Amino acid sequence: MAHTHGGGASLEQLLSNESLGAAQEWALAVLGGSWSGSQDVALSRALAVLSRQALHEGRIGDGIRLTLTALRRVGRAPQSISEVDQSELAFCLARMLTVTGDFPAADLAIEPYDAVRSESYPPSTRSISRALLARARGGVEDAAAAADAAVTEAERHGNVAVATVGEAVLASVALARGDLHQARTHVRRGRVAASGSPLEGFSTALTWSCMKLAEAEDGADAAVDAMRDTYENLDRRPQLLVDEPDGAAWLVRVAISAGEDRRASRVVACAAQLSAAQPEIQVLAAAANHALGLLERDADLLTDAASQYRHPAAVASALEDAGAALAAEGRCEAARSTLNLALDNYSRISASRDQSRVMRRMAEIDRGGHRTRSVTGWGSLTPAEHIVAGLVSEGLTNPGVAGRMHISRHTVDFHLRQVFRKLGIHSRVELARAAALRAS
C-alpha cells in the first residue's frame, strides 16, 4: 500500500502475522498516550492491531468489538488514509463475522467493495473475504471461483498471506469433493507460498487443510501421530478452534478413532474453556457441545450442537455424529432419520466425500451390523469414563484426575457420577473393588 501511518507501516502491514508482536507494542503505546501522530488514525490502527491479537488468542467477541470501534474512529481521519484503512478493517470484520456464522452481516461488510476498483486496497483481499464467506455458507462453486481469483491476484501483487489462504480454501473444496489429488496440489502450493515467510506454520486455514488431507490419505493413526504438536499445544493456538467451527469435534473424532482418548479429552477441555470465556458466541458453545458429545457418545448433546451451529458443514457433521451415536444405542429408526438429515445437508453443500460416508453408515444400520452399547456395566462406559474410573480406582483424587487428563474438576465430577450410576455403586471404595474384580 502507498499510504503508511503509525510506526511507518500501513494498516495491512500492521495486521500481518509477520509484524504482529511489534505492532502490538506500538498499539499499546498509542493507547497509553505516547504517540504524537494523528490521533484518529493512530487510535483506529491501534484498535485494529489489538483486534487481530484478540482473534489470535481466540477472543473473537473482543476482536469484533475492537474492529467496530476502529471503523468508527478511522472515519474521522483524512480521506486518503481512511479509504485505505476502512477497506482493510471492513474485510477483517467480515472474516470474523464469517467465523461466528453471522453471514448477512459479513456480506454487508464486503458489499460496498464488490463493484469498486480502487488503488486503495488490493482486489485479492476482497476476493479472499468472499471465498471464506462462500465456503462457510457451503457455496463450494462460489468459494472455488473467489479463491482462485484471490490466488491469481495475490501472486501478481506478492501478497503471501492471501495466496496461502486461497490455496487452503481450494484444498478444502477439493477435499469436500473427494478429489485428494487436487487437495494435495493446493496444499503443496500453499506451503510453497508461505515458505520462508513468518506465515510458515502459522496459517490456520492451511494447517486445517494439511491435517484433513493427512487423515484422508493415511488414516486416523498416522494423522494423530503427525499432529502430536497440535494436540499437545492446542491451548497455545486457540485460533485453530475459532477459525474452524467443528474443528474441535474433528480433532476429537480422529483421536478417538486412533484410540487416543487422552488427546480427545484435551481437545474437549480446550473447546469448553473457549466457550466458557465467551458465552455470547454461539458457535463456540456449539463446538464445545459437539466435541463433548463425541467423547461421551451422547446423541442428545450432538443434536443440540447441530441446532446451535449456523455453518452448514458443521450442522451436517454434528447430525452425522448424532446419527452414529443413536445407532450405537440401538435406536435405529432415529439414527436413520438423523443420518438422512445429515445426508441432505451434505448434498446441499456438494460434499460428495461426506455423502458417501453417511450412505455407508446407513447401509450398515440396514444390515443390522452396527454394534450397540450396553446401558449399564463396564461396557456402557464412554472412553473418558473408563479413564476416570481407572485413575480413581488407583487412588487419585478428583483434582489429581483433572490434572492428569487436562480437564476441569467439574468435568471429572460429572464423569465419576456417570461411572457410579452405570456400575450401580456409591463410593470410591466400591469402584476400586469393582475395578480389581474386573482385572482378576
Report how far Cα 142 is from the mean position of its chain's Cα atoms: 21
In Å, the largest CA–CA distance within the chain is: 79
Q: What is the pLDDT of residue 48?
A: 74
Secondary structure letter of residue 375 according to DSSP: S
Q: Which residues contact 239 (CB under 8 A, 6 or more apart)?
A: 55, 56, 57, 58, 204
At residue 31 the predicted structure's pLDDT band, cuts being 50, 70 and 90, is low
Of the candidate ranges 4-8, 190-194, 253-257, the one whose mean pLDDT is the lowest: 4-8
Secondary structure letter of residue 236 according to DSSP: G
At residue 277 the predicted structure's pLDDT band, cuts being 50, 70 and 90, is very high
Q: What is the pLDDT of residue 366?
A: 84
Cα–Cα dist 124/166, whole Å = 9
Q: What is the pLDDT of residue 117?
A: 63
Is 118's pLDDT higher than 90? Answer: no
Is 290's pLDDT higher than 50? Answer: yes
Q: What is the pLDDT of residue 351?
A: 92
Is 84's pLDDT higher than 70? Answer: no
Cα–Cα dist 440/436, whole Å = 6
Residue 257 vs residue 11, higher pLDDT: 257
What cell was used for 16?
Answer: 500481518
Of the candidate ranges 106-110, 116-120, 124-128, the one whose mean pLDDT is the lowest: 116-120
Whole-number average pLDDT of the chain:
84
Torsion sign, CA atoms 223, 240, 86, 26: negative
**Per residue in 337-361, pLDDT tens?**
999 999 999 999 999 999 999 999 9
Is 406's pLDDT higher than 80? Answer: no
Residue 281 and residue 96 in contact, taking contact as beta carbons nearer than 8 Å:
no
Of the candidate ranges 58-62, 166-170, 283-287, the one whose mean pLDDT is the lowest: 58-62
Task: Tell me which residue of 223, 165, 229 sits closest to 191, measured CA to CA.
Answer: 165
Is 171's pLDDT higher than 50? Answer: yes
Q: What is the pLDDT of residue 197?
A: 60
Q: What average pLDDT score do residues 250-270 get?
A: 93
Q: What average pLDDT score do residues 1-13 get?
A: 44
Number of alpha carbons in the 13 Å side-chain half-sphere of residue 139: 12
Residue 291 and residue 249 in contact, taking contact as beta carbons nearer than 8 Å:
yes
Residue 337 and residue 365 in contact, taking contact as beta carbons nearer than 8 Å:
no
**From the CB of residue 257, how many other CB atoms can be counted at a distance below 10 Å?**
15
Give the position of cell 448434498: 347
At residue 374 the predicted structure's pLDDT band, cuts being 50, 70 and 90, is low
Mapped to the 3 state alphabet, what secondary structure does 85-134 carry? HHHHHHHHHHHHHHHHCCHHHHHHHHHHHCCCCCCCCCHHHHHHHHHHHH
The proportion of the chain whose per-residue pLDDT surpasses 90, expressed as a percent, equals 50
Q: What is the pLDDT of residue 123?
A: 82
Residue 187 vs residue 378, higher pLDDT: 187
Q: What is the pLDDT of residue 369?
A: 58
Q: What is the pLDDT of residue 6?
A: 45
Q: What is the pLDDT of residue 49?
A: 75
At residue 273 the predicted structure's pLDDT band, cuts being 50, 70 and 90, is very high
Number of alpha carbons in the 13 Å side-chain half-sphere of residue 98: 23
Number of alpha carbons in the 13 Å side-chain half-sphere of residue 69: 15
- What is the set of domains in the chain, with CATH numbers? 1-121 (1.25.40), 127-219 (no CATH), 244-373 (1.25.40), 378-439 (1.10.10.10)
Cα–Cα dist 268/289, whole Å = 9
Cα–Cα dist 201/212, whole Å = 15
Of the candidate ranges 13-22, 190-199, 260-269, the one whose mean pLDDT is the lowest: 13-22
Is 198's pLDDT higher than 70? Answer: no
| Top mean-pLDDT range of 29-38, 114-123, 401-410 | 401-410
Q: What is the pLDDT of residue 134?
A: 97
**DSSP helix, strand, coil percent of the chain (3-state; round to 5):** 75, 0, 25
Task: Tell me which residue of 24, 11, 3 sits closest to 79, measured CA to CA.
Answer: 3
pTM of full prediction above 0.85: no
Report how far Cα 277 is from the mean position of its chain's Cα atoms: 16
What cell was used for 26?
Answer: 506500538
Is 18's pLDDT higher than 50? Answer: no
Q: What is the pLDDT of residue 372?
A: 54
Strands (E), 267-401: none
Give phi and psi for 376, each to the nearest 5: -130, 170
Is 401's pLDDT higher than 80? Answer: yes
Is 172's pLDDT higher than 50? Answer: yes
Q: What average pLDDT score do residues 372-396 get?
A: 80
Cα–Cα dist 440/426, whole Å = 21
At residue 200 the predicted structure's pLDDT band, cuts being 50, 70 and 90, is very low
Q: What average pLDDT score do residues 2-12 get?
A: 44
At residue 132 the predicted structure's pLDDT band, cuts being 50, 70 and 90, is very high
**Per residue in 35-60, pLDDT tens?**
455 566 667 777 777 788 888 889 99
**From the CB of residue 418, how many other CB atoms can be counted at a distance below 10 Å?**
18
